[in-house]
Amino acid sequence: MEPRKITEGVFWVGAVDWDRRLFDSLIPLPDGTSYNAYLIKGTGKTALLDTVDPAMTGVLMANLAGVEKIDYVVVHHAEQDHSGSLPAVLEKYPLAKAVCNAKCKDFLMDLLHLPEDRIVTVADGELLDLGGKTLEFIFTPWVHWPETTSTFLREDGILFSCDLFGSHLSFPGLYVDDEQKVCEASKRYFAEVMMPFRPTIKKHLERLSGFAIKTIAPSHGPLYKDPSCIMDSHRYWVSDKVSNTVIIPFATMHGSTEMMVERLAGSLYRRGIKVERFNLANADTGRLTMALVDAATVVFASPTVLGGAHPLVISAAFLINALRPKLRYSAIIGSLGWGGKMAEQVSANIGGLKAESLGTILVKGRPRQDDLAKIDSLAELIEAKHKESGIH
């Protein structure tokens, strides 16, 4: 992709990564992603906002081929996918300074080994005048790292929001053209990295509502000409509201645990409760995390293997615990042969959840009629709890 003009003197100069299929060696990226960098030319100074993933340094450099002078490289976030090309950019533009907050400066020196004399720090709310283009720095820490900053370009009403409002989506144009698709990709991104930080993101949203934002230019995915939809979505995601949904991450070895899952799913469905089941042997981890964004209840289902929970279920429990979703209730079900510590192991891995435990159902081998009746009772209890909490 070539540089793309956003407004007079403002250009997208990033890189689209159509073929990337995994982030953090964990989360599938079915639609690739992009690393957005922006060039802002004032009458006196020129600033580059962020760089790109090191794997795409060549693309950024090609996009900057006609740019003779860069005075500032604003660094919103020290993570490699945005700052990995920074050393190459500073080498090409020896007079350019990296501009960031104090925490980010530490990271750039620690993680990228940048020399201190190439970095200028700014304060929250500070302005940088490029000549007819005024950058206002808005600290937005803990969207998942502690140093993240956004920039508001006053004259053009553009919010450069870094990871916030981003989506893992490759795109041929510049702007969102399919709101539903982008919102889903953004939800995936929010779920994977930002969900644990809902309280701080809630505060950022409140603060940002005081800015006259015409366009949101995130660091991943297309730009938003109309910020309202994506901001409203984030407001819902960070709220305490949950949906009448039960998610069931499960593993099964000989089909007995799956029989329990099927019984539970059917029983919940008949009660008007939405069910999302994830067979962890082949589930998309991103879809699981997306379902966690507003699900009310999780039921882990695991066979007993090697005396404990199935490793896939332990892995899912660990991830769910780390993401701190707003789950209200949890339960554990599973089939075993003769004993073991399956339920104890799952419980030990979800200690960080604030979800009320609705109990454990263990059966030996294939579930019998009375076992299935216990599953129906769990569905009945979940329905009652949801109603009691006003979850519809």
| Surface-to-core class of residue 212, CB atoms within 10 Å of its CB (0-12 exposed, 13-18 middle, 19+ buried) | exposed
Sign of CA dihedral 40, 41, 42, 45: positive
Min dist. Cβ of residue 219 to ligand FEO (A):
6
Instruction: Give me the 235-274 binding string for ligand FEO, x by CB under 6 A, dash otherwise.
Output: ----------------------------------------
Closer CB to ligand FEO, 81 or 383, in the complex = 81
Q: Which secondary structure element, helix H or strand E, spans residue 189, and what is its range?
A: helix 179-189
DSSP output for 35-77 = E--EEEE-SS-EEEE----GGGHHHHHHHTTT-----EEE-S-
Which residues inside 267-286 make contact with ligand FEO, applying CB under 6 A?
A: none
Closer CB to ligand FEO, 31 or 81, in the complex = 81
Which residues inside 95-124 make contact with ligand FEO, applying CB under 6 A?
A: none
Closer CB to ligand FEO, 105 or 144, in the complex = 144
Q: Closest residue (Cβ) to ligand FEO? A: 79
Torsion of CA 181, 184, 185, 190, to 10 degrees: 160
Question: Any contact of residue 53 with ligand FEO (CB under 6 A)?
Answer: no
Which residues inside 25-44 make contact with ligand FEO, applying CB under 6 A?
A: none
Instruction: Give me the 155-194 binding string for ligand FEO, x by CB under 6 A, dash otherwise.
Output: --------x-------------------------------
Q: Pairing relation of β-strands 329-336 and 295-301? A: parallel
- Phi/psi class of residue 359: alpha, beta or left (left: φ > 0; alpha: ψ in -120 to 50)? left
Binding residues for ligand FEO, how many (CB under 6 A)?
9
Which residues inside 212-231 make contact with ligand FEO, applying CB under 6 A?
A: 219-220
- Comparing CA positions, the residue from 227, 230, 96 lying closest to residue 152 is 227
8 Å CB contact between 382 and 297: yes
Closer CB to ligand FEO, 76 or 263, in the complex = 76
**CA separation (Å) from 267 to 141, 208, 270, 274, 355?**
43, 44, 5, 11, 21
Min dist. Cβ of residue 8 to ligand FEO (A):
28
Instruction: Give me the 122-161 binding string for ligand FEO, x by CB under 6 A, dash otherwise.
Output: ----------------------xx----------------
Instruction: Give me the 63-102 binding string for ligand FEO, x by CB under 6 A, dash otherwise.
Output: --------------x-x-xx--------------------
Quote the CA–CA distance of 27 and 32 in Å, as a whole number. 11
8 Å CB contact between 317 and 346: yes
Min dist. Cβ of residue 189 to ligand FEO (A):
8
Quote the CA–CA distance of 330 and 286 in Å, as a whole number. 20
Closer CB to ligand FEO, 182 or 312, in the complex = 182
- Phi/psi class of residue 217: alpha, beta or left (left: φ > 0; alpha: ψ in -120 to 50)? beta
Min dist. Cβ of residue 110 to ligand FEO (A):
16
Quote the CA–CA distance of 135 and 265 in Å, as a whole number. 52
Residues that bind ligand FEO (CB under 6 A): 77, 79, 81-82, 144-145, 163, 219-220
